[in-house]
Amino acid sequence: MRIAYQGEPGAYSEAAALRIKPTADVLPRESFEAVFMAVKEGAATHGILPIENTIGGTIHQNYDLLLQHELPIVGEVKQPIVHNLLAIGGTARDTLRRIYSHPQGLAQCERFLRTLDNVELVPTYDTAGSAKMIRDGELRDTGAIASERAADVFGLSILEAAVQDFADNTTRFLLIGRDAATFGAPNKTTIVFTVTNDAGALFKALSVFALRDIDLTKLESRPIPERPFEYLFYADLSGARDDLPCARALMHLAEFAPSLRTLGSYQRWEEPTG
């Protein structure tokens, strides 16, 4: 099993991939689009994508990419995120003039970053990639918000540990594959649908699940670029697509949803025990 992820070694996406399968071969890629292409072209069997964070919210780009590519969701994983302030060894905190990190990393450490004086916040393509940029450029006036593993990989020191705004900082990742074979028995389904621009249309769409006691664990709207002020709705359902109540609900929804697509039916993440 080879899992493509966005970022450099030490990225949280790499940690999430190895949490799903510790023996997996991991393949770094520069962008989320490149992760999809690696799976599509056969360079990887699977790809892993962050989809939402408990502090920073939804990663909207990946919802858009799931719609663009015909690659099913086959699993999910929740990865604890512990951010650290990294810098070249011997650097004093008050000498830092720039902080590099992915925009999500900066957003998740906003309170801590406000305590730093005369520091420019610089968004980059990756948390671990920020550590690499500092190492490669020997940037002694620059710090990075990244993981402890990124510090080890790129030989940096941790100036401040666990600087995220909230201790319980977790990102949910989706695993995509070339086919629909899942890890374990599916008990969760992700769909995307549209509704007509009529009064009560969304209420009617969601009622098909309420009538059958199917829990919606997430509902997300995204604009349709070529149709101003019209929206796609992404929903996570508690149930397998082939379970009778879920299958009937989707058939019912199809009666008045102009478009409906199942993005994947897969096993909900459960924290390992023991």
Active site residue 171: yes
* Helix ranges, 52-195 (H): 60-68, 103-108, 110-113, 127-137, 148-154
Catalytic residue among 45, 124, 142, 171: 171
Which H or E element spans position 222?
Answer: strand 216-224
Whether residue 154 lies in the annotated active site? no
Dump strand ranges (E) for 11-136. 25-29, 46-53, 57-58, 73-80, 84-87, 98-101, 120-123
Q: What is the largest CA-CA distance in the chain?
A: 65
Burial classification of residue 149, based on how many CB atoms lie within 10 Å of its CB (0-12 exposed, 13-18 middle, 19 or more buried): middle
Cα–Cα distance, 3 to 253 (Å, whole number): 34
What does the buried/exposed string (b/e) look like for 78-87 if buried means 16 or more CB atoms within 10 Å of the residue's CB? Answer: bbebebbbbb
Exposure string (b/e) for 209-243, b if CB count within 10 Å is 16 or more? Answer: beeeebeeeeebeeeeeeeeeeebbbbbbbbbbeb
Let me know: does 258 contact 195? Beta carbons within 8 Å. Answer: yes
Interatomic CA distance for residues 124 and 16, integer angstroms: 20
Closest by Cα among 109, 102, 122 to 31: 102
Given 173, 183, 209, 233, the catalytic residue: 173
Would you name the residues annotated as active-site residues? 171, 173
